[in-house]
Amino acid sequence: MATETTQAPWVGRPLDRIDGPGKVAGQVRYAAEEFGPGTLFAHVVQSTVAKGRVRAADTAAAKAVPAVVAVWTCLDAPRLARRQVAEYDQPALKVLSPPYHVLQDPAVRYRGQEVGLVVAETSLAARHAASLVRLEYEEGGAALGFAEDAEAFTPDSLMVPLEPDYRRGDLAAGFAAAAAIVDAEYLTPAEHHAAIELGATVARFEGGKLTVHTTTQDIHGARLCLANSLSLPMEDIRVICRYLGGGFGGKNGTWPHTVLAAFAARELGRPVRLELTRQQMFPLHGHRARHRQHVRLGATADGRFTALEHGISVQTDAARRFVEHTGEASPMLYAVPNVAVSHRGVACDIPAPTIMRAPGAAPGMFALESAVDELAAALGIDPVELRLRNEPATDPETGKPWSSRALAAALREGAGRFGWERRTAAPRSMRDGRHLVGYGVASATYPANRLPCGARVRLSADGTATVETAGTDIGTGTYTILAQVAADALGLPPDRVRVALGDSALPKSPGSGGSWGAVSHGTAVQEACAALRANLGGATDLHGALKAKGLSEAVGEATATPPKEKKTANHAFGAHFVEVRVDPDTLEVRVPRMLGVFGVGRLVNAKTARSQLMGGMVWGLGMALTEATVLDERLGHFVNADLAEYHVPVNADVRDVEVVVLEESDALVSPLGAKGLGEIGIVGMAAAIANAVHHATGVRVRELPITIASLAGEA
Ligand code: MOS
């Protein structure tokens, strides 16, 4: 762009994505495209019951289809050894990328489960033949409901350090001291990730070694899963994912289709490609769990919180029983002396839920930030002011100082920019013509984590450099920001830096997730560049030193490891302000204005950062108004399993979105000063919209998405 200057420092600048032109021109290859001549195509056969056993299979018609090479069901597929050959070096990996002993067991645990596989010379033949497989089931006893009295279990642990049952202070005393108490239940539906790119794997064996191109955010997790599923040593498996068409957490874990492709490739001795259909993505690729949350929040008459109780119930599957860490923000966000947060799972015969953008906080903060708004109304205190009155000086959960905390600054800056002072407190008190107008606010927060990460940098005598790490770019801008980081560290323009990502042959990475990608990979690249400089005797002019030594290349490699004990509480913060307009006759809700103000540390790239924050806010709009997957509680399938009926926001839904990033640099989170910002944009947005809808209409909607029916039902 002509407006950009062309000098260091490159970190912070709004550089265009370096992978953009290749993507637009169709020159880069996604996993599903990484196949050549001789590749076979596989299609999954799915169960048509939610619970039971496959009793018999008739595969004759499927086998008779021309070009079909193999038809297997869980009754007759080749047997797999069940050996754990690789260690799960992070607890979350056991949940997200467990071993899948595919097609070994006739048990059916959810409708849509993989119970067979057809492999053919063409994808159409495989899909057609799969439709001809006839299975008989012993069926019955599926638990599909999520009623209030459903039997719940307490998980042993959560995916984050928070205990499933967190307590501090004396809850009863806290509520006894309250002048006002909000006591309410909030419901959120199952939601699906809806990445444009479908889940896909191409697998091939050569000389006993497996190479897999697959759609994953986490190369290491996929490799672990394949190793333990197929009893193959890690070193015999190479996993590659150079480009992803969206991940959003759905591609953080590994799913059975990836194992099925490798299994078939090994059995048949030919490369196998397996791409799920959009409909298959719904049961076979994870979703955000349906939630029931009970919040009790008390405050004194002058608006000091005295007690918070946050009870979380999550509908999960019966096999993996993943319970989301939905209450993660509740112990740390506000100064509340007495707090209880509990997590429960309700195990059902449904497809497995998983993490989705801002796991934990996205559903959890809908409940908490709605309750704060309800309490503000009950107390007659402005909802921005109520939040400001409960700012904790240090982290109330750990007692540690904040690495940095910009919540109050975001609330103040946002209120000023938005024109919050124009808001009149009473519901239904603002109008524009015939439309009801509402203003809503909510806080946002997300942990600022950094994980151990490896990187290697090569500087060549021709004045170019190559950065290598197994980390992935899920569409967020990782290629671009790592070129910027290396450019500053090496004294080169970023167009001289090539970035290689997404390959298990490269230094190990924690993958892209948890908003830790930029800080983990960025720090590793900085340290690899420092190692390279040290290898050249600490030279200032690296290129000159290379020439003087007569070298064609210098290499630096490092594993950047954050300190084991954190001395500070590290989180990103923000505040959302939204305006809604509600048609008083049709009850249609529109959102003409959304403002997000964030304290997310130093930006590595102002353009990709803004895109991430904006993308999160837009998803929050979808969460508030359109997104829900509906489970048929008689038969166990998601009834709206495609993008025609699962509604993500489109351009007509998204009007004026403003993203403001406060000046902040947080060296305690990362040497880059960055905090990570891939997820915080969605956190709290649904509550801000629900709060604005209440302000506009006087109707408090506690169940997402907010629909015309939900407004009509209560109005
Ligand atoms: Mo992200 S939901 O942590 O992959």
512 CA closest ligand 1 atom index: 4
Q: How far apart are CA 605 and CA 596, in angstroms?
A: 18
Is the backbone peptide bond immediately before 705 cis, with ω within 30 degrees of 0?
Answer: yes
Beta bridge partners, 119, equal 42, 70
The β-bridge relationship of strands 40-46 and 114-120 is antiparallel
Give the C-alpha separation, 48 to 285, whole Å: 17
Give yes or no for residue 355 CB within 6 A of ligand 1. Answer: yes
**Could you identify the atom of ligand 1 that is nearest to the CA of residue 252?**
4
What order of strands is seen across the sheet that includes strand 291-299?
165-168, 338-348, 305-317, 291-299, 180-188
**CA of 515, closest atom in ligand 1:** 3
- The answer to whether 445 and 329 have CB atoms below 8 angstroms apart is yes
Ligand 1 within 6 A of CB of 327: no
Strand intervals (E) in 121-179 = 134-139, 165-168
In short, whether 513's Cβ falls inside 6 Å of ligand 1 is yes
Q: How many whole angstroms from 357 Cα to the centroid of ligand 1?
A: 5
Q: Return all residues near 544 (Cβ < 8 A) that are at least 6 apart.
A: none
Residue 514, ligand 1, Cβ within 6 A:
yes
Residue 357 near ligand 1, beta carbon < 6 Å: yes
Query: What pLDDT does 68 receive?
Result: 98
Q: Which atom of ligand 1 is nearest to the CA of 249?
A: 4
Name, in order, each residue with C-beta under 8 angstroms of 386's C-beta and a sequence gap of 6 or more.
Answer: 299, 303, 372, 375, 376, 379
Q: What is the pTM for the complete model shown?
A: 0.97
Tell me, using a 6 A CB cutoff, whether residue 515 lines ligand 1: no
Ligand 1 atom, smallest distance to 251 CA: 4
Which among 245, 178, 259, 190 has a CA at the least distance from the CA of 217?
245
Q: What is the DSSP string of 193-254?
A: ---SSPPEEEEEEETTEEEEEE--S-HHHHHHHHHHHHT--GGGEEEE----S--TTTTTS-
Residue 149 has what pLDDT? Answer: 80
Could you say which DSSP state residue 646 is in? S
Question: How far is residue 144's CA from residue 632's CA, in Å, rounded to a whole number?
Answer: 8
Does ligand 1 have an atom closer than 6 angstroms to the CB of 359?
Answer: yes
Q: Per this entry, what is the length of the chain?
A: 715
Query: What region, left, alpha or beta, does residue 321 occupy, with left being phi > 0 and alpha being psi -120 to 50 degrees?
Result: left
Q: What's the confidence (pLDDT) of residue 90?
A: 87
DSSP string, 10-28: -TBS-PPPTTHHHHHTT-S
User: What's residue 86's pLDDT?
Assistant: 96
Cβ-based neighbours of 115, under 8 Å, separated by 6 or more? 45, 46, 47, 54, 73, 74, 103, 106, 108, 135
Spatial contact of 440 and 374, defined as CB atoms under 8 Å apart: no
- In the reported structure, the alpha carbon of residue 528 is separated from the centroid of ligand 1 by a whole-number distance in angstroms of 26
Would you state the pLDDT for residue 1?
A: 42
Task: Return d(Cα 645, Cα 656) in angstroms, integer.
Answer: 25
Across 431-463, b (16+ Cβ under 10 Å) vs e yields eeeebbbbbbbbbbbbbbbbbbbbbbbbbbeee
704 in Cβ contact with 628 (< 8 Å) = yes
- Residue reference for tokens 């919209």: 689
Residue 475, ligand 1, Cβ within 6 A: no
Q: Which residues are catalytic?
A: 679
> Can you give the pLDDT at residue 5?
57
Q: List, for the chain, all residue ranges whose pLDDT scores fall below the cut of 70.
A: 1-6, 714-715
475 C-alpha to center of ligand 1: Å? 13
**pLDDT score recorded for residue 471:** 98
Which of 90, 219, 252 for mutating ligand 1's site (highest number of atoms within 8 Å of CB)?
252
Q: 320: exposed, middle or buried (C-beta count within 10 Å: 0-12, 13-18, 19+)?
A: middle
Give tens-digit pLDDT for 167-214: 999 999 999 999 999 999 999 999 999 999 999 999 999 999 999 999
Task: Please give the order of strands across the beta sheet that includes 107-108.
Answer: 107-108, 52-58, 134-139
Looking at the CA of residue 358, tell me the nearest atom of ligand 1.
2
Q: 23: CA distance to ligand 1 center in Å?
A: 23
* Distance between Cα 197 and ligand 1 center (Å): 16
Contact 72, 102 (CB under 8 A): no
pLDDT for the residue numbered 2: 40
Q: Contact, 459 vs 542, CB < 8 A?
A: yes
Per-residue pLDDT of 45-55, as tens digits, reads 999 999 999 99
Element (H, E) at 532: helix 517-535
Q: What is the DSSP string of 439-505?
A: EEEEEEEEE-----EEEEEEEETTS-EEEE-S----SSSHHHHHHHHHHHHHT--GGGEEEE-SBTT
**Pocket lining: 451 vs ligand 1, CB cutoff 6 Å:** no
Kind of pairing between the strands at 305-317 and 338-348 = parallel
For ligand 1, atom 4, which residue shows the shortest CA distance? Answer: 249
Give the Å distance between the CA of 356 and the centre of ligand 1.
Answer: 6
Residue position matching structure tokens 């009790």: 296
Token output for 627:
């997104």
